[in-house]
Structure 1
């Protein structure tokens, strides 16, 4: 019969679930209730098929009920004979009758009955409130297939070996998605990520994710898929005052779990929802990304504890990296309870030992040199027990540091040759990085290192240059650094103990943090990475900047001349520009603001001289009851203070120019 043939094929395709099948076999010798739950597509129905076969082999009669085929009524569920096994599938549709099932139907069954309930949601609180059900019920939370079982399945399906690990990574071991990917491969596809097969994404969403009740609920679901963790505050920041209702709804979804920091969806649901929105509505995807990024950035900057800041960034990197097409950015390892910490007593010897092991004695001696002189530059990556598993060091370089370390020397010389730091600006150099077990290959330490780099960029507004000279393999890391806006610093390479270290550099005066984040958003949304970002922007020395301010004040009402002013491409103007404003309009607004914060005795003079000139400077002096020499001293003093105010914004010493 066809049914027997189908049953045979299903048995051959079934892999894993040994613990669950063993628990069912044990339950056959007794009675009671097994409550199986898990998200759509995780294999609940396939497991019930296996339970039915095991029960039949044991000589037990099986009654199979799928709630999708029932009509609610007084006899909605069947009566059982002695010794029968009831397999009840799709129980989420019977949740309106949950109290009746628990309190009336199940107690009415024969004493030797074995019941298996399978649904998307775990048993409700009332199941556990009853001590008797707590004792009689065994809960089975069904998850994805582990890698070994997933490979066994793919091998049985004839998937080429070169594709097996890739399909496991895409599917996270989710049985339905794994099956869909096998079908796509059989039709010629060779996907690298779930978004490469939109038809699979659509089918998966239809099978596993319930329809959102409104567009706002759908937006909340998409936000939950996009953010590393979703809180009510995040929902409110992006979607408005209905955040409480939306958060409560998200908590009811079977593929959304809650953790200490908030809600997060299962990996497969996250990937499918994200890929679907990106494919279906690229503009809305980009807008959501910017909104979520802005809200998360505000949360990070409002957090006082550095360890928590780094962990938040590590979570973001882990989620965003899974969507990257750059190999070393893609699927960054989770931190797995590893965390970043300051240097503690006892760390020095372990850092030196791991450096000797991976990079040799000469590099270890240089690490020891900086450990003694700049201990505050080091961050140690620890396991959950506090044991060091890796470290990183970011040195703030000064001319007095020259001569001891070829790496620091090379990075300092490069910065000075390609745009020397101005007064008050910093040169930051990532000089060391290692993981105890993996060196510089993929590890939790790599993710934490990336989080440390991003945090440094977000909080240090007075940095001129950030240079990364910690990686020893340019082939491996150049694509990642390029994707992050760090280009090879030609001529800054240095050799330690026979290892040639490349250097990557970013000039924050040409591309500041806001512009850098915008570039990262664009690249994440699919725009091509360009090495020329920020190349046309201007980096002025302090004397050049002062001269440009004087010219701008003089030419403020002469557009053709103002258009040539180098301040229009300076960082302070770019940072202050709002949508719809030209650089010249932005500069004019900045000058007005600078005048408004002058001391009272200079404000009127500067306003009449530069902002609203209607007569000669001699006449202005007369109107202010000043001699012309005194007027000129006051005018020059006003220009100096305006320049100082603008310079503070240019060099990052004023956090906001708006």
Structure 2
């Protein structure tokens, strides 16, 4: 069936001669090594990729295609996905680059829906692509043009090409409509209405009918046409069940059988899934079904306007199911649930923080030795003498902790210093008045041994200092990439600014709290600190909490109050000893997963403890006694250790 559907899609392909010719040039020995294919949503980028891939394979080229929607946008995430795609057991960048080159005389790596990979663009340009052998070509298919940094980086020059995917001409649009079963008489007004937009043309072909010919929204903007065509298509869907399922599915990032079961307990979930799979704007992926976002957004907007209660209930049902699945998901699957939770959140502060709707103009890159003077100039221009010396001391000690923001022409215009708690000497933290305060806070409110704190020591731009601006926005987006890479071990983020009030609205919505114990002063200026504690479930749990709050989902109270180190039971609060707290905290962070006694000894007692594992059993016994009617949640896993059940 998959091959048949692909064959029919290729048969319906029309036009694109200029775009195809540009892609064919990549296969020539002197052709471009990297091609950015860009165009608006629904313009036909994926169809173009499929046509070119079929043609290239027919000519003997090996084509490896990844859908970026299904890949965690981090270096390890991409390397793992690529390793699985080419059958390599070692997701190491250099080894994978060599393996790609060995797949054939001519190899194409195509990354579709590249717009969701903004967090990785710099790493690909600076690190991975230069590793690739000469016989490998890379194609990016996405909505945005390549960043100016691609053109500004020395060496790319003729190796890079940008290809814009334009709307179909009126004759091409008519040809596509006829291939989809529309008569030539009907095709002409539809082609004009849809602005040559392939997705709109396919919707129109599905909705066309004699009774509706007079309702084509001629001369309307494209988005209005898409909304109207979506409404007309839904009106033509023959049964109420499919329409209902489509509306529920439109509030989620992807569609799975388990999500449909949660949203529609009265329906057979597999049947509902198959109904969706047959629709012309639904793609099947390894992650489930994905409704084309232009259609999905139109359906969701319509449902929200016409029946906000049902729109909310579909999202709540999806949240409950995703939250339950995420609790037992393996580390390799966590990204899927992170992206799913982000999609459920409509709060623009959170959505924009992770996936900005606009194109990021300024790249953030790891600082190089040649950036030292520019970096020092910004620091000394924006900081007092004492503060500058403290920050530059971090550069001398840990230059790898610095990243720089570059202008389109490549000049350094901003910087960021971020440190990991597990990769920095405590004595160095104490040398810096700002990080010394953070270290003191960690001592007052310690984390588990396996948890990490990220210290965002400073961001500065030559134009705004640490105030909001384009460079600061680029730095904050890059921080989200670090969040993704460090989860599920990342527990806290500390940051500092001279004027926290400028960030108050965003920071409070995200959950940051100001540290009020003591304000650090350097050169007569106040440096205010704030901390975001993600909780024991790291970034994924934090996002789930944000979504729950927005959706009004009632959550059962946490079993453990981390700050007071007490159990929270219906009968009241019960204090815990340090070891009881350590064991409970560790099990809670790995809820529904088996934890070995060896792991508990290492992370709670410390690696230097020489006693036997029976001490773990003794602490668990006292912990269970204190838990009362909740004691059964701590299960013994024979031959392994223990597991804390979520419910």
TM-score, normalised with respect to structure 1:
0.45
- Structure with larger RCO (C-alpha < 8 A, sep 6+): 2
TM-score, L = length of structure 2: 0.46
Name the structure with the higher strand share: 2
